[in-house]
Amino acid sequence: MLTSKELTSDTWHDFEKLFGKHKGVHGGCWCMWHRLRSVEFNKLSKEERRMAYHDETMAGNGCGIIVYDGSEPVAWCQFGKPSCLKSYDFGRVYPKLDLPSHLKPDWRISCIFVDKDRRHEQLASYALNAAIEVIRKKGDGVVEAFPLKSAASGRPQYTGSKEMFEKHGFEDVMSLTANTDYMRAII
């Protein structure tokens, strides 16, 4: 049976188990890429990224949801306030968007990851839905997502697919870069 829990100091060991199995995921990111400026991220070793996320989580600043099959962590969705997932604000295109005040983001969804042994089971969609439910409980608002366009490449897409976000009520706003779409939902 699938369940989900937010990342907290109590669930850190489950996050660490899931990510540790996959060597920190995507080159040892430990889901820190969207939390930092790229220059800050690149200065950190894989272990320093793990410890940075650990420290943030222990301080009450973990931002994401872990999906479980029974007691086993099998998927992850990182979401949070823009102040938590700030890398977009330092990109080349996003800062130039002139968003009207009623469309400024309250939340961002940055990463979705599924255990390599459990892919093609709709766990990414389950994780996204679980994140949306937590966002609803915490105060709704404008939610941004940034899926990669190359979902058909056969390589894991740690940001989810455009089609998956559309199924969860997100609208395609624009092409942010050659590889990234900018999507939005009002929840």
Average pLDDT over residues 123-151: 93
CA–CA distance, 42 with 37 (Å, rounded to integer) = 9
User: What is the band of 158 on the pLDDT scale with cuts at 50, 70, 90?
Assistant: confident
The overall longest dimension of the chain from CA atoms, in Å, is: 45
User: What is the band of 11 on the pLDDT scale with cuts at 50, 70, 90?
Assistant: very high
2-186: CATH number: 3.40.630.30
> How far is Cα of residue 102 from the mean position of the Cα atoms in its chain?
23
The predicted pLDDT at position 178 comes to: 85
Cα separations in angstroms, 119 against 122, 156, 157, 172, 181: 7, 9, 11, 25, 23
Total-model pTM: 0.93
Average pLDDT over residues 119-140: 95
Average pLDDT over residues 99-123: 95
Average pLDDT over residues 134-161: 83
Cα pseudo-dihedral 79, 164, 166, 102, rounded to 10: 10
In this predicted model, what pLDDT tens digit does every residue of 25-75 receive, in sequence order?
988 999 999 999 999 999 999 999 999 999 999 999 999 999 999 999 999
CA–CA distance, 2 with 65 (Å, rounded to integer) = 13
**How is the chain split into domains, by residue range?**
2-186
Average pLDDT over residues 141-153: 83
* pLDDT reading at 172 higher than 70: yes
